[in-house]
Structure 1
Amino acid sequence: MKKSKARDKIVETASRLFYQQGCVATGINQIIKESGVAKTTLYEHFHSKEDLLVEYLTNISDETDGWLKAEVDKFNSPKEKVMALFDFLAVLSSRADYCGCSFLNMVSDIPFDSGRANAIIKKQKDNVRALFAEILKPMKKEQLADELYMLFDGALITNKVHGGAWPVQTAKNIAEKLI
């Protein structure tokens, strides 16, 4: 599909609203109003709200995978790489505009049978697990990938509930002991 400034504005607006409010609370009319496009323009680019959600999740998945890989690539040892992921999480979760993990927020907001959206969320989470396994491969400790992934996502969820730095720091401390 042809890219346009209007399409970009729709995606930017929908992405911001989905992240801040969730999918269910974000209406098409709000996206239209805040993006400043006509309803017909929105529907020329996206046939449904689900199409917009899939675009948002795909974009943020690619972005997140890139961020995580960039953090890992700054270090040499597997332990440093794992710790870097938790440090990245600590920085991210301390930002004033942080509203939680986009994927965990969305998976609790959309119906379980939202096939395309849930598939993107699952794939992104599988990418995180695979990244941990890849990092641990030189140590022959790939089996710890699931545990580290659970600590990583658990820190995200606990931070969403309690706020503060302690959930991520606690997860990092446990991860350090595992490695």
Structure 2
Amino acid sequence: MPAPITEEQSRQDREALLDAAEALFYERGIQAVGMDRIRAASGLPLKRIYRLFATKEDLVVAVLQRRDQQWRGSLAAHVERVADPRERVLAVFDWLAEWFAEPGFRGCAWVNAHGEIGASSEPVLAEVRSHKRAFHDQIAGWAQAAGMPSAEPVFLLAEGAIVAAGISGDTAPARHARATVETLLGSP
């Protein structure tokens, strides 16, 4: 009889599975990646995978939730290193430009997930909407601190830059969006 799986082993298995699934989903798309490919990439048997996540949909939601925490955490860490509230708003676009330049950048994981299965998966749609609300709220906090009457233009420029960069493979959308936000902010 095999030894029982410890809590630590369960945590490690879960992280390995999420790492493998996130990389594959982001690189190839959710529907193009089968569970056998995730099994091979994670090194976990299918039985173990399905004990951790009962369905592929559950795995997709978990990947998006974890990515949200990491993505928005990285953004916040970058932006909050800047002292001036006005410059913090602009730092959003500097961070986006760095992200767009990363090898393997394929646009927004949540937009990609929504485009693939958001219409047919209520849990995935809910997670996409949750991420977008949280990202909006982050930007709203920084925009409000900078004295902007509305965060909507900044949010929409950020979202547009992400989509444009994902399609074009170019970092220029972040630079263009930043210049527009700088105009909106006016002179210090």
TM-score, normalised via structure 2 length? 0.88
The structural deviation recorded for 1:142 is 4.0
Q: Distance in 2 between matches of 1:4 and 1:131?
A: 29
Does the 8 A contact of 1:72 with 1:85 survive in 2? yes
Which residue of the partner structure matches residue 92 of structure 1? 99
Alignment of 1:154 with 2:160, yes or no, is yes
- RMSD after superposition: 1.5
The structural deviation recorded for 1:166 is 1.6
Does the 8 A contact of 1:132 with 1:142 survive in 2? no
The structural deviation recorded for 1:6 is 2.6
Q: Distance in 2 between matches of 1:165 and 1:6?
A: 35
Percent of pairs with identical residues: 27
Q: 2:25 is matched with which residue: 8, 18, 22?
A: 18
Which residue of the partner structure matches residue 50 of structure 1? 57
Q: Distance in 1 between matches of 2:146 and 2:100?
A: 29
Which residue of the partner structure matches residue 103 of structure 1? 110
Structure 2 residue identity aligned to 1:9 = A
| Runs of 4 or more above 6 Å deviation | none
The structural deviation recorded for 1:138 is 3.2
The structural deviation recorded for 1:48 is 0.4
Higher mean C-alpha deviation, range 126-135 or range 2-11: 2-11
The structural deviation recorded for 1:137 is 2.0
Q: Distance in 1 between matches of 2:59 and 2:149?
A: 36
> Which consecutive unaligned segments of at least 5 residues does structure 1 have?
none
The structural deviation recorded for 1:115 is 1.5
Which residue of the partner structure matches residue 120 of structure 1? 127
The structural deviation recorded for 1:58 is 0.5
Alignment of 1:15-94 (within 5 A): 15-94=22-101
The structural deviation recorded for 1:97 is 2.2
Which residue of the partner structure matches residue 144 of structure 2? 137
1:140 to 1:6, Cα distance in 2 relative to 1, 3 A: closer
Does the 8 A contact of 1:19 with 1:102 survive in 2? yes
1:44 to 1:72, Cα distance in 2 relative to 1, 3 A: same
Give secondary structure in 1 for the equivalent of 2:117.
coil
The structural deviation recorded for 1:120 is 1.5
> Which consecutive unaligned segments of at least 5 residues does structure 2 have?
1-6
